[in-house]
Structure 1
């Protein structure tokens, strides 16, 4: 509306309703039309698959399989570091930060407390296990792949993995030293935390409803299919993400039917696919469309374009300034909204223009900016995963983010450096 006051139309002449009052609604209609058939449906299918995996107990089976080796580690801070690495791996298949956080709080958290880790340190590590939005199931990764005109599997393998490996190593080591330092400081100040009744619960209860051990493979099926039938491995078969998800659901249904031999119950459990699709539409897809409408307005007003042009005019320094400006915008937007998805979808349309203005490879800008959204979410006290994990641990969200911010600052620095080296 502000842009319209200065004579900038909300939509293009071809899409105009010929009445500016209706054109504002038309702009949102255009965003919904552009998102729902492609990226929006991808996100909804992924969410439906995740809900189905949870319904049949496959998600808990995966967590149970990954958690079991951790019980052999006796050093509490080594266990913290390894917990983060395993949690980040599980995030490839359990794409809900809140859902994974709750599973880990029910399973790994009591083990960490039993080994003498403070509840704040344990919660901080668990709250940061999804700090990197990685893999084909990440909506931010799908959007970044679109911007780079590549498929999401290629983007994941060639662009995300080299940077992510460096960031994961730094975050794991960072948690080891940062959480140990905080615990020692609190102990010296007489603020050592004692494990309460909630921390002494039976860990086995966390896995009630988990499927048989072989169910742990089911959440991994879509990723395996997408990698095998991608341009990098086998070009003879073209497999879209949506088709891979549908095939994986059908396979899981057959496995569930053969395992339990209850036809009616197995069929009823598949309803969770569509329930999950509906829930993620209201919570994520609609938010993405609103964020993109906001970005459209910001672009038409011209403020961010002015910043991009200013960075582009600084010749050799412009490349680095552009990268820092875009990451700063992403971090601030995520901290304010509590959502890495909303922030990235709002400002990601600016990335190709920003990269071209300084003669920069678009991947060098897109990858660190995309990953920084998830990193910033881990520093935000109003993020859903922060609130969920801190409430279970019995601490305030601000206590949790005080432990995550130093580690995430290291992650941001590593993210930028690794992108400059590998991309």
Structure 2
């Protein structure tokens, strides 16, 4: 009981600090150390006896060092390579070429709320290839947002839909998907095709329908409609695509997904291709396509600097946050508060499965809203999933899939999430104006997520 009380107190302090714009990684790191010290006071040491430095103060540092050693060579490098590839695609204009290709059919839809629903579906599809939620949100704000507003949708509705286009972390390039696949001991492509897609299709349909009705209700209630003239809309959209590469560049962001699916156990198992190698090969192919198109070796070489810039940027923004969040979770586990909740859920014979699922979802949603990062929350608490599933006698997939998807859904309800802040800033609104419109839709998504996972997995 004491462990639960200390855990709740520390979580409350962390939530306060994050909402007050303290730097989240150091807040989580210090909170983790505090909980490790509290756990040590009850006899649970930060590291195993055979890993101990024989000095408690150093053992605290060793606990964090061990997490860094386990994350950076594998999943940390995966995330950095994906980010580097994404920034490179943006630098050469391939991301804008893909968005331009996908957005063009949307201009034929004249019903504003049908267009809202379709915009979400198209945006979620593009999220498979543009891995940055903020990056995709900014592209859509520059391209689709003027069209939505011109058709009579309020600024808040348009921004809410665009801010939710990455609400599901899908595909082999998703770091959360990679982590979930590791937990289930399958390759990430198999996890994507057999576990994610069936559930995600149900959730995507529910979000699209939810946006249609929820945003229309808010617009009618608030009576805030803003219409720009058609000429201004076309001018803004044309400006948004300045710097877009040729039409064939739209294929380049899709290369990693294509290669990973083709050279996977599901299609052609004789050739083994890792995610890291697939990204490197995709970068090389994109470089030669860019070289053949622009015929400037010097400029094409200069563009590849974006790969390493993206890798460094995501290390500071995501990988570091994930490692600090994992130490925070380690402290919670050592205190025993979360373990107590899992054991309580497992003890409920008939309702144990549902209670366990709800407990893990609640942990994930709260952690995501507190940190503003679905990645940090999922990496922090995902190690609990196999044990939690085994305690109630179910497959790890039944817990891993809905909990993994819920991290992205919860991020869309968080006013301090990067994509919400970015979209709100461009729309001239506050993040709370956006999340009050996304929360009802995301609650529907969470419900469908649980039901579909239970029915299909």
Give the structure-1-normalised TM-score: 0.97
Hey, what does 1:250 align to over in structure 2? 284
Question: Does the CA-based 8 Å contact 2:46-2:59 persist in structure 1?
Answer: yes
Q: Tell me, what secondary structure is at the counterpart of 1:316? A: coil
Question: Does the CA-based 8 Å contact 1:10-1:24 persist in structure 2?
Answer: yes
**CA deviations over 1:59-93 (Å, ceiling 9, x no partner):** 00000000001011111111000000000000000
**CA deviations over 1:188-208 (Å, ceiling 9, x no partner):** xxx444559997852101011
Q: Which of the numbers 21, 42, 46 marks the counterpart of 2:78?
A: 42
What does 1:316-355 align with in structure 2 at a 5 Å threshold?
A: 316-355=350-389
Question: Does the CA-based 8 Å contact 1:114-1:200 persist in structure 2?
Answer: no
**Alpha-carbon distance between aligned partners in 1 of 2:104 and 2:429, rounded to the nearest angstrom:** 27
**Alpha-carbon distance between aligned partners in 2 of 1:397 and 1:35, rounded to the nearest angstrom:** 32
**Alpha-carbon distance between aligned partners in 1 of 2:233 and 2:422, rounded to the nearest angstrom:** 16
What does 1:371-390 align with in structure 2 at a 5 Å threshold?
A: 371-390=405-424
**CA deviations over 1:326-375 (Å, ceiling 9, x no partner):** 00111111111111111111111111111010001110000000000100
Question: Does the CA-based 8 Å contact 1:109-1:199 persist in structure 2?
Answer: no
Q: Tell me, what secondary structure is at the counterpart of 1:176? A: helix
**Alpha-carbon distance between aligned partners in 2 of 1:64 and 1:254, rounded to the nearest angstrom:** 22
**CA deviations over 1:195-246 (Å, ceiling 9, x no partner):** 5999785210101111000000000000000000000111110000000000
What does 1:1-400 align with in structure 2 at a 5 Å threshold?
A: 1-187=37-223, 191-193=224-226, 195=228, 202-400=236-434
> Which runs of 5 or more structure 2 residues have no equivalent in the other structure?
1-36
**CA deviations over 1:247-268 (Å, ceiling 9, x no partner):** 0000000000010000111011
**Alpha-carbon distance between aligned partners in 1 of 2:228 and 2:163, rounded to the nearest angstrom:** 19
Structure 2 CA distance for partners of 1:404 and 1:237, relative to 1, 3 Å: same
**Alpha-carbon distance between aligned partners in 2 of 1:221 and 1:22, rounded to the nearest angstrom:** 45
Give every structure 1 segment of 4 or more consecutive aligned residues whose post-TM-superposition deviation is greater than 3 Å.
191-201
Question: Does the CA-based 8 Å contact 2:152-2:225 persist in structure 1?
Answer: no
Question: Does the CA-based 8 Å contact 2:155-2:225 persist in structure 1?
Answer: no
Question: Does the CA-based 8 Å contact 2:142-2:236 persist in structure 1?
Answer: no
Question: Does the CA-based 8 Å contact 1:356-1:362 persist in structure 2?
Answer: yes
**Alpha-carbon distance between aligned partners in 2 of 1:194 and 1:258, rounded to the nearest angstrom:** 43
Question: Does the CA-based 8 Å contact 2:150-2:227 persist in structure 1?
Answer: no
**Alpha-carbon distance between aligned partners in 2 of 1:62 and 1:201, rounded to the nearest angstrom:** 19
Q: Tell me, what secondary structure is at the counterpart of 1:133? A: coil
Give the structure-2-normalised TM-score: 0.90
**Alpha-carbon distance between aligned partners in 2 of 1:199 and 1:397, rounded to the nearest angstrom:** 24
**Alpha-carbon distance between aligned partners in 1 of 2:91 and 2:49, rounded to the nearest angstrom:** 48
Structure 2 CA distance for partners of 1:301 and 1:199, relative to 1, 3 Å: farther
Mean Cα deviation higher: 198-207 or 303-312: 198-207
**Alpha-carbon distance between aligned partners in 1 of 2:232 and 2:378, rounded to the nearest angstrom:** 37
* Alpha-carbon shift at residue 108 of structure 1 (Å): 0.2
* Alpha-carbon shift at residue 15 of structure 1 (Å): 1.5
**Alpha-carbon distance between aligned partners in 1 of 2:216 and 2:227, rounded to the nearest angstrom:** 16
Question: Does the CA-based 8 Å contact 2:409-2:442 persist in structure 1?
Answer: yes
